[in-house]
Structure formats: C-alpha cells, structure tokens
C-alpha cells in the first residue's frame, strides 16, 4: 500500500493525458492554450503500465484529466485500458463537456464510472464570459443524457467560485439541484503562478457557503477511502448534493489520498509542489518492479501540506498543466 511519512494512504490517482485545453477560462487560461514545450504525451502502452503499477501498489481509483482529455482521439481506449486493469474499481473523467452528447456513448461503452463536468455558471451569457464558449446548453444536454443512460455514470459538476462571476448566484444552482441528481462541487479559486491579481480580486471562502448550507438543513455525507477532497452534503428535499472543496481550510491536507501523474509521465506529489519527478524511463518496459520501486521511493519526499497559505504555488503555472 502506498503510504507516506505522515501515514496517509493513496488509493486515488489523477492521471493527466494532455495539457491542451480548448477553453479560455478566465481563472486558468484566459489567453488560451500556449504550447511552451514538447507535446510528447503518454502513449497508451505507458498509460497501461502506470495503471497496473499503481493498482499493484493499492490504488483503486483513477481519474483521467487534462487539459481537456477528450481532445485525445484515443480517450475511449484509455478509459477501457484503465477500467480493465485488475484492482482498479473506479475510472472517472474530468471534462469541460464541449462535445459531451457526441462523446458520451463511446465513454459509456468503454466503461466509464463517473464523469465530472465543469460548469462555472448556469447563465449562458455568464458561462460564455468565463469560458469563451457558448456551450452551456450542449453540456446540460449531455448531462441529461448521462443521467438517463442505461449504464448511467455518477455525474458531478465542478464550479470554481469567483466573487464577481458566480458567488452571488448560488440560488440558481440550488434551484437546479432540486430536481437534478448530480453532485455540484463548489471549488475555492486557487492561486497559481500566473493568476495572482485575479485570485486576490476573486477568491471566495467556501466556509461561508458551508455555514449557510448547514443553517438551511443540509447534512454531511460520509466519504469513502477513495473519495476526492470535497466535503459533501445532502438535503432530503433535493435530488442533488453539494460538495465543497476548500484548499485554504484548516487541515485540508491531512486526508490527502491522491497522487498525480502528468501527461509527460512525471509524478507530482502535490498539485502545488515543485516540478514533477519523471517516471518515463521506468515506463518503457513491461517489467513493473522498477516503476513501482521508483514511485515508492519518490513518495518519501511528499510534504505534510501544500504552501498555498504562504502564497507559494510551486511549479503550477495554471491548472491545465496537471488537471487540478
């Protein structure tokens, strides 16, 4: 079992397969994607070895991320490869959903268990302002398709809180959740290497929303060992649930259970750590023992916490680099 020096166990791998994204979200890539390095992304054989090695070390859940992972034409094959890996119980995908109705059938056929879709506003005009795209109705249609599918995946919606863009429109999300059985996760805006001014102007504390939810009768959901970082709540009068991801809250890192591998094959011990630690050499053959040994060895360098409170963002220039 992958265990660090602080007794934390790692059941959850976030696997980035590209850093390219076609959206221009104001908090991540306001000027669009810029290719600043090699685009030698992990190949399917390498992804298979990553999945097998982590599963043999006790990982049970893989989340496929980007950038925007659906920009890779072999995404269904990647989903299937992870899903068929012995020991992997759950394969999830995070996407902007720009062609969700088109892509969904192939993802379902490949065996996807859960889909997280980014929706930073339920107002089409505001959605366009934030992302640079008029895709809200397409995304909502795709979510409806996913919820009604015979082999329906778990659906979650990610919303990055921003003071001037959506923090005063929580009620529209609550109205939507009344009859929509998804989990909506409000995510605190995080400072990265290139968004300091935006962060200072737009950051909203999730703790205030949590307090209001509790006062309104929302109750906590018990998390399992492979759950993500969200504190989730349910309400008997609502079909949907609410999650809060609050990286600036006290003891946020105490329950960390996830590691990250970048699209370039680097192990990242923390989203906001320094540059990743390469696994590429160990990914070139089917003998997984050197790869597993390298992962275990590198895990010894994982810190007790991120350093966001000290305004230290490590090597993370923007969230598309590593999939958040």
Q: What H or E segment, with its residue span, contains residue 77? A: helix 75-83
Contact 206/244 with Cβ under 8 angstroms? yes
Find the domain containing 176 and state its range. 12-321
- The answer to whether position 41 is within a domain reads yes
**pLDDT score for 103:** 97
CB distance 93 to 63 below 8 Å: yes
> What per-residue confidence (pLDDT) applies to 315?
52
260 belongs to a structural domain: yes
Domain assignment present for 2: no
Tens of pLDDT along 155-181? Answer: 999 999 999 999 888 999 999 999 999
pLDDT on residue 274: 63
Do residues 198 and 27 make contact, with C-beta atoms less than 8 angstroms apart? yes
Is 121 inside any structural domain?
Answer: yes
The CA angle 50-118-86, to the nearest 5 degrees, is 25
Rounded to an integer, the average pLDDT of 109-114 is 98
Q: For residue range 185-222, what is the model confidence (pLDDT) as tens digits? A: 999 998 887 788 898 999 998 998 999 999 999 999 98
Percentage of the chain surpassing pLDDT 70? 91
Write the CATH number for 234.
3.20.20.70
> How far is Cα 105 from Cα 101, in angstroms, rounded to an integer?
8
Number of domains in the chain: 1
What helix, strand, coil percent values describe the chain, rounded to 5?
Answer: 35, 20, 50
Dist CA 24 CA 151 (whole Å): 32
Measured CA to CA, the distance from residue 61 to residue 54 in angstroms comes to 9
For residue 105, is it within any domain?
yes
DSSP letter, residue 41: P
Cis peptide, bond prior to residue 67, ω within 30 of zero: yes
- Residue 170 within a domain: yes
pTM, to two decimals = 0.91
Pick the range with the lowest mean pLDDT from 6-15, 169-178, 222-231. Answer: 222-231
For position 37, what pLDDT does the model report?
66
Q: DSSP character for 58?
A: T
| Assigned domain for 257 exists | yes
Q: Which of 133, 90, 137 is nearest to 115 (CA)?
A: 90
Q: 89 in a domain, yes or no?
A: yes
């Amino acid at each position: 079992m992958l265990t660090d020096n602080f007794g934390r166990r790692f059941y959850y791998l976030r696997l980035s397969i590209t850093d390219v994204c076609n959206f221009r979200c104001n908090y991540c890539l306001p000027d669009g994607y810029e290719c600043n390095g090699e685009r030698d992304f992990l190949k399917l054989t390498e992804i298979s070895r990553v999945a097998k090695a982590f599963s043999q070390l006790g990982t049970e859940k893989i989340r496929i991320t980007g950038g925007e992972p659906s920009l890779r034409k072999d995404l269904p094959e990647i989903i299937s490869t992870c899903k068929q890996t012995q020991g992997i119980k759950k394969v999830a995908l995070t996407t902007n959903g720009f062609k969700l109705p088109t892509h969904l059938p192939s993802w379902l056929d490949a065996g996807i268990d859960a889909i997280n879709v980014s929706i930073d506003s339920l107002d089409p005009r505001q959605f366009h302002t934030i992302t640079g795209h008029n895709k809200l109705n397409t995304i909502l249609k795709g979510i409806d398709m996913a919820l009604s599918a015979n082999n329906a995946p778990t659906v979650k919606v990610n919303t990055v809180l921003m003071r001037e863009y959506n923090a005063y429109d929580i009620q529209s999300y609550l109205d939507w959740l009344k009859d929509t059985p998804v989990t909506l996760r409000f995510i605190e805006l995080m400072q990265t290497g290139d968004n300091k001014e935006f962060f200072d102007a737009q950051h909203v504390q999730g703790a205030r929303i949590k307090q209001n939810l509790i006062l309104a009768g929302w109750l906590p959901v018990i998390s399992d060992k492979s759950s993500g970082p969200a504190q989730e709540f349910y309400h008997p009068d609502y079909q949907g649930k609410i999650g809060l991801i609050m990286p600036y809250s006290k003891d946020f890192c105490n329950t960390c259970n996830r590691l990250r591998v970048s699209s370039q094959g680097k192990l990242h011990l923390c989203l906001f750590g320094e540059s990743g630690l390469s696994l590429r050499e160990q990914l070139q053959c089917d003998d997984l023992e050197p790869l597993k040994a390298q992962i275990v060895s590198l895990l010894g360098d994982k810190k007790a916490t991120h350093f966001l409170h000290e305004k230290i963002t490590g090597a993370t220039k923007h969230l598309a680099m590593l999939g958040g």
